[in-house]
Chains A and B, each alone.
Chain A
Amino acid sequence: MASVNSPAPGPSLRMRNIRKSFGATAALGGVDFDLMPGEVHALVGENGAGKSTLMKILSGAIAADSGTIELLGTPFLPRTTFDARTAGIAMIYQELALAPHLSVADNIVLGMEPERCGILRRSVISRKAQDALAQLGHENIPVDVHVGTLPPASQQIIEIARALATGCSVLVLDEPTSSLSREDVERLFKTIRRLKAAGTSVIYISHFLEEVQEISDRYTVLRDGCSVGNGMTGEATTGDIVRLMIGRSIDQLYPHSVHERGEELLSVKDLQGVRKPRSASFALHRGEVLGIAGLIGAGRTELLRSIFGLDRIKNGSIRVGHSIGCATPQKRWSQSVGMVSENRSSEGLAVHLSVMDNITMNLRRDATRLGFISPRRLQRRAEESMRLLGIRADAALHSVDTLSGGNQQRVALARLLHEDVDVVILDEPTRGIDVASKSNIYSLIDRMAAGDPALNLKPRGVLVVSSYIPELLGICDSIAVMCRGVLGPSYATKDIDQHRLLEEAIGKGMTE
């Protein structure tokens, strides 16, 4: 372990004027970042603000176009992740980076195995692994079992143990709590405090500002690839940080016209899936935007999937209009229910096909004549929906992967409009897109619910899953919270605040 016991005068890590462009888009436009020894420094910002890019540069996964990095006072230029690792920088990624087929001990020493002439020193390895786990207060994890058989929270501990075993002085945690229960989050925080006390500097990336307030000493906010503010966490409110993150006040971001609530479109009673959801009941009306909040892994996606007929259900009833019962996705489309999945590139869109092909993918019955497709008709139809969503008309024949994340999401939404569905199901519709596009998606959702007679748009019911509570508060008429597979009651948005929602999401005060 690198020891930083003597209080160093300067920062342990200093990044200056870091720039990085991917093609024409500037991901980082001159970022400065300082990390003091033994501090927990929160790095916050929206998706696409440049946090991951900055950390990838620090960890040697990609190279900066320009800028300097100093580690403990000496210039540092990692060319590979191995360079960064040997220099004492350890990254814990959002997606767990473990080899499930190797044992806990083998994972902890992976890439730095103690060996003699290529033969592993197994006793040294298991001792090293046990030491690292003990340092984290997790000596209860057995070191000889395969990692794939452990629960996610323990797997994360193993990653941190790996960082410790190689002697890290800077630990980067990228959204470490997104798949953890509240209890595991507490344990993780205890671990972080322990590391901090031992002199390790921690960079903590999170969307959960409450966590940032709880664990960090200082914060830096990134927006659109620039550092827009930093300071002591204790001296800033969550509101201050949010303002820095989005660069404008919340009201401007979320349009909210009057929604007129109509008949019931979709009602779900005591729905139980194979594993998740465990229990869910709600009703969605025409002209209503219903949000489902909750942590990742709470079972929200599974709820949407079982409604849409993608997952099997064990119990409960789903009623769409007048028909009751489960159905295939094909049937749901014919019942005027449409879904955009959370994973745009792998599920939501066929990224190698053109915008037009994506929008008209379902090939409504009237798209064909005598069983043959008329490409010109299709294109005209597609362009209609594109105009409604403000997608440039000349994009119809471009392949979807040439578009930005925000435009891709609009194409996915255009498909729903093209199919003229009544029930719009959206899973994390703003994940991974920039603020301007987000604002655009918000106003689209608003228009879908409100309808627009001038454009011949009827009001619809919209069901939105999002992990970002402020956004739900901004766009929804009512919100329900899902926690560990159980969906709570729906509240009118005006009767609830961020704090309450978060508490319900993390299951505080709930009896198991």
Chain B
Amino acid sequence: MKKISILLNSLAPFFGLSAIYLLFMAIGPESFSSPHNLETILRQTAIVGTAALGMTLVIIAGGIDLSVGSMIALVTVVIAAFLQAGISPLLSAAAGVGAGVLCGLVNGLLVTRLRVVPFIVTLGTMLIIRGSAKGIAHEQKIDAPLSWLNTLLAALAPDALWQLLPAGVWITLLLAVTVALLLRYTKLGKHIIAVGSNEQTALLCGVPVDRIKVIVYTMSAGFAGVAGLMQFSRLTVGDPTVAIGLELDVIAAVVIGGGSLSGGEGSVAGTIAGALIMTTIRSGCSQMGLPNWVQEIITGAIIVIAVSLDRLRHRRRESEQ
């Protein structure tokens, strides 16, 4: 009985997702429910979804990372600059993701060494990284020669239908499964939950709290790096002004998926569902010809509703004891 209710709780974001999808199927145009549109939704979710995987870890560990949007911009700039210099696509991609990881390492070290709350540290690095990206790109887009990197998130060509989904979507899924396994089956995963659940306890039990935090911010930045790679794939240029405010979408995905900003809670499946919910709303609204501002209002309302429902469930569970 208890197990069933826990299962239902963790599936709540998926019920929400299904409800929203069915709603648009009912009231939206026929094109919304086409397989083609489903693929588009998945492709559009890949960037936010990937970054949100990292954010899930950060939020479970009781932190926050506001700098992921800036990191994504920096990554696109670095990849474009490398490609422009004639370096191979693989190496350029690695350099871009590496730049992201480096930013995350800095975030982690600042949070643990300076003992400043992560909100402030990453608010600062958000500006620093954005500024650096603009500096490297001389405040303009960097054109890069086309390469196979640009096909990562493109719609599948008719001769590549055997892949079922674009490579970028597969990468997101693979990373999601990895993070889910990490949280469930590894020592690192349990330590991340412990740090977010009760940092003092974790410390008393000999969990290397600072090291865990550095790892978490670095991993989050790694995921942001992969998200940046996908962003570049779609843009085909390095754009230092891309993904402004994307960190908020990323945080929203985690929170809609049941993550708690006070730490300890959050799930990979929930986060992915949260990211899908937001893309589905966007897709549904635009297919129905609703203006942008309506989408924003609906998305905002969904965030508030999802989180208050989650809190309500928590309160009820507590009072049941």
User: Which residues on A are within 8 Å of B, measured CB to CB?
Assistant: 61, 80-82, 85-86, 91, 93, 97-102, 106, 110-113, 115, 118-120, 122, 145, 149, 151, 162
- B190 to chain A: which residues have CB within 8 Å? 102, 106, 110, 113, 120
Asked if residues A85 and B185 are in contact (CB atoms below 8 Å), the reply is no
Asked if residues A149 and B317 are in contact (CB atoms below 8 Å), the reply is yes
CA–CA, A106 to B204, complex, Å? 15
Asked if residues A100 and B264 are in contact (CB atoms below 8 Å), the reply is yes
| The residue from B197, B200, B204 contacting A100, defined by CB atoms under 8 A apart | B197
Which residue in chain A gives the minimum CB-CB distance to B319? A275
The main secondary structure of chain B at its interface with chain A is helix
Q: Is B186 an interface residue (CB 8 A)?
A: yes
Given A86-B206, A110-B207, A113-B190, 11 additional A-B pairs, CB 8 A: A81-B204, A85-B205, A99-B193, A100-B198, A110-B201, A110-B202, A110-B205, A111-B205, A115-B186, A118-B188, A119-B187
Q: Is B194 an interface residue (CB 8 A)?
A: yes
Which residue in chain B gives the minimum CB-CB distance to A113? B187
| The residue from B187, B193, B194, B203 contacting A118, defined by CB atoms under 8 A apart | B187
Which residue in chain A gives the minimum CB-CB distance to B194? A99
Q: Is B108 an interface residue (CB 8 A)?
A: no
A81-B206, A82-B206, A120-B190 known; A102-B185 Cβ under 8 A: no
User: Which residues on B are within 8 Å of A, measured CB to CB?
Assistant: 2, 185-188, 190, 193-194, 196-198, 200-207, 264-265, 317, 321
- B186 to chain A: which residues have CB within 8 Å? 115, 118-120
- A101 to chain B: which residues have CB within 8 Å? 193, 196-197, 264-265
| The residue from A80, A120, A149, A151 contacting B187, defined by CB atoms under 8 A apart | A120
Asked if residues B201 and A99 are in contact (CB atoms below 8 Å), the reply is yes
- A151 to chain B: which residues have CB within 8 Å? 321
Asked if residues A122 and B185 are in contact (CB atoms below 8 Å), the reply is yes
Nearest CB of B to A158, in Å: 11
The main secondary structure of chain A at its interface with chain B is loop
Asked if residues A110 and B185 are in contact (CB atoms below 8 Å), the reply is no
CA–CA, A97 to B265, complex, Å? 18
Q: Which 7 A-B pairs have the closest CB atoms?
A: A111-B205, A82-B206, A101-B264, A99-B197, A111-B206, A101-B197, A97-B201
Asked if residues A102 and B193 are in contact (CB atoms below 8 Å), the reply is yes
- B206 to chain A: which residues have CB within 8 Å? 80-82, 85-86, 111-112
- B321 to chain A: which residues have CB within 8 Å? 149, 151
CA–CA, A80 to B317, complex, Å? 37
- B198 to chain A: which residues have CB within 8 Å? 97-100
Nearest CB of B to A396, in Å: 32
Asked if residues B207 and A111 are in contact (CB atoms below 8 Å), the reply is yes
- B187 to chain A: which residues have CB within 8 Å? 113, 115, 118-120
Interface centre among A61, A82, A110, A112 (most CB of B within 10 A): A110
CA–CA, A380 to B284, complex, Å? 66
Which residue in chain A gives the minimum CB-CB distance to B199? A99
Which residue in chain A gives the minimum CB-CB distance to B264? A101
Asked if residues B200 and A110 are in contact (CB atoms below 8 Å), the reply is no
- A98 to chain B: which residues have CB within 8 Å? 198, 201
| The residue from A99, A112, A120 contacting B202, defined by CB atoms under 8 A apart | A99
Which residue in chain B gives the minimum CB-CB distance to A116? B187
CA–CA, A112 to B206, complex, Å? 8
CA–CA, A99 to B202, complex, Å? 8
11 pairs, CB–CB < 8 Å, chain A vs chain B: A61-B204, A85-B206, A99-B201, A100-B198, A101-B265, A102-B190, A102-B193, A110-B202, A118-B187, A119-B185, A120-B187
CA–CA, A80 to B202, complex, Å? 13
Asked if residues A102 and B205 are in contact (CB atoms below 8 Å), the reply is no
Nearest CB of B to A479, in Å: 32
- A93 to chain B: which residues have CB within 8 Å? 204
Nearest CB of B to A305, in Å: 18
Which residue in chain A gives the minimum CB-CB distance to B190? A106
Nearest CB of B to A368, in Å: 36
- A81 to chain B: which residues have CB within 8 Å? 203-206
| The residue from A61, A112, A120, A145 contacting B185, defined by CB atoms under 8 A apart | A120
Nearest CB of A to B210, in Å: 12
| The residue from A97, A119, A145, A149 contacting B200, defined by CB atoms under 8 A apart | A97
Which residue in chain A gives the minimum CB-CB distance to B188? A118
Which residue in chain B gives the minimum CB-CB distance to A91? B204
Which residue in chain A gives the minimum CB-CB distance to B207? A111
Nearest CB of A to B187, in Å: 5
Asked if residues A110 and B188 are in contact (CB atoms below 8 Å), the reply is no
Nearest CB of A to B149, in Å: 31
CA–CA, A102 to B200, complex, Å? 14
CA–CA, A106 to B321, complex, Å? 21
- B193 to chain A: which residues have CB within 8 Å? 99, 101-102, 106
CA–CA, A85 to B201, complex, Å? 13
- A112 to chain B: which residues have CB within 8 Å? 205-206
Interface centre among B185, B197, B321 (most CB of A within 10 A): B197
Nearest CB of B to A309, in Å: 22
CA–CA, A93 to B198, complex, Å? 14
CA–CA, A313 to B210, complex, Å? 44
Asked if residues B188 and A102 are in contact (CB atoms below 8 Å), the reply is no
CA–CA, A113 to B194, complex, Å? 12
CA–CA, A106 to B185, complex, Å? 11
CA–CA, A100 to B314, complex, Å? 13
- B265 to chain A: which residues have CB within 8 Å? 101
Which residue in chain A gives the minimum CB-CB distance to B184? A120
Which residue in chain B gives the minimum CB-CB distance to A86? B206
Asked if residues A162 and B205 are in contact (CB atoms below 8 Å), the reply is yes
CA–CA, A93 to B201, complex, Å? 10
Nearest CB of A to B177, in Å: 15
- A97 to chain B: which residues have CB within 8 Å? 198, 200-201, 204-205
CA–CA, A348 to B204, complex, Å? 29
Which residue in chain B gives the minimum CB-CB distance to A103? B190
CA–CA, A403 to B204, complex, Å? 29
CA–CA, A145 to B321, complex, Å? 14
Interface centre among B196, B198, B207, B264 (most CB of A within 10 A): B198
CA–CA, A81 to B198, complex, Å? 16
- B317 to chain A: which residues have CB within 8 Å? 149
CA–CA, A120 to B187, complex, Å? 6
- A110 to chain B: which residues have CB within 8 Å? 190, 194, 201-202, 205, 207
CA–CA, A302 to B2, complex, Å? 30
Which residue in chain A gives the minimum CB-CB distance to B317? A149
Which residue in chain A gives the minimum CB-CB distance to B320? A149
- B197 to chain A: which residues have CB within 8 Å? 99-102
Nearest CB of B to A80, in Å: 7
Nearest CB of A to B141, in Å: 42
Which residue in chain B gives the minimum CB-CB distance to A106? B190
- B196 to chain A: which residues have CB within 8 Å? 101
CA–CA, A29 to B190, complex, Å? 41
- A111 to chain B: which residues have CB within 8 Å? 202, 205-207
CA–CA, A490 to B172, complex, Å? 67
Which residue in chain A gives the minimum CB-CB distance to B203? A81
Nearest CB of B to A433, in Å: 24
CA–CA, A145 to B203, complex, Å? 22
- A149 to chain B: which residues have CB within 8 Å? 317, 321
Which residue in chain B gives the minimum CB-CB distance to A125? B190
Nearest CB of B to A6, in Å: 29
Nearest CB of B to A131, in Å: 18
